[in-house]
Amino acid sequence: MSPREPWFLTNALLCKLSVALNIHGLCINSVPLKLINIQLTGQFTAYMLVTFIASLILTFPYILWQLWLYVKPAFFHYEIVKFNKFISITSLLFITGVLFGYFIIVPLTINFLGTYKVSAEVDNTISLMSYISTVSFLTLIMGVVFQLPLFIYFISKAGLISPQLMRKNRKIVIVIILIISAVITPTTDAFSQLIVAIPLYFLYELSIFICRKQNLKSNILA
């Protein structure tokens, strides 16, 4: 429930920045989003849903590690070393993505969708389950999005993509990232858009580096 509150870390910092930089639109969620429950079991269901998702996020590295221990005896020593690194990187990227989604994407989205109106005659009255499902989806999906470098690694290893192709399409990707950032962020100021765009662009550049490194290894082995 915290991302909708003015005292939430991201909201408080952006509001302080808005005062320091004299950019009024940078302050988000200064008024808490009002939620309602319209189902008898709504609050209990929401509580169980949040508990399940939180447990899934917190236990993700442990679940991944247990799955690895199950199949580990079937691999050689050098493969085990590689998979240990893979699990560590996967867990780190997932947790980083979840934190980025919860502290950056979620507050910006709540502010934008919670205050957006097609007409002044239509008030926003958000249901509890709508809020919970949106926050949960955005948090989890960013954990998945941050797996992009690993995805690029595997498809480059399969020869389906090259660093030259990724560099060639860099300008197109930058435009797509900026469009996504503009949709997510609540205002038209460049600062709030960059908060979202820079990490996404960093992931793309990291993917290019991984792809190039994988290609070099393939050429050496060839």
Domain boundaries, the chain: 1-144, 147-222
3-state secondary structure of 35: strand
Which pTM value belongs to this model? 0.78
70 token code pair: 């199950």
> Over the stretch 186-212, which tens digit does the pLDDT of each residue have?
555 566 677 778 888 888 888 888 888
Nearest one of 90, 83, 109, 74 to 195, comparing CA atoms: 109
CA dist 153 and 156 (Å) reads: 5
Length of the chain measured in residues: 222
Residue for token pair 């290609």:
215
**Region of poorest pLDDT, from 11-20, 44-53, 208-217:** 208-217
Backbone angles phi, psi at 31, to 5 degrees: -115, 125
Residue-level pLDDT at 191: 66
Measure the CA angle with vertex 64, ends 60 and 66; round to 5°: 115
pLDDT of 167 > 60? The answer is yes
Amino acid at the residue 105: I
Mean pLDDT of 155-170: 81
Work out the mean pLDDT of the chain and round it to a whole number.
83
Residue for token pair 């189902």:
39
Cβ neighbours of 165 (radius 10 Å): 12
CA 48 to each of CA 38, 42, 58, 74: distance values in angstroms, whole numbers, following the listed order: 17, 10, 15, 38
pLDDT of 8 > 90? The answer is yes
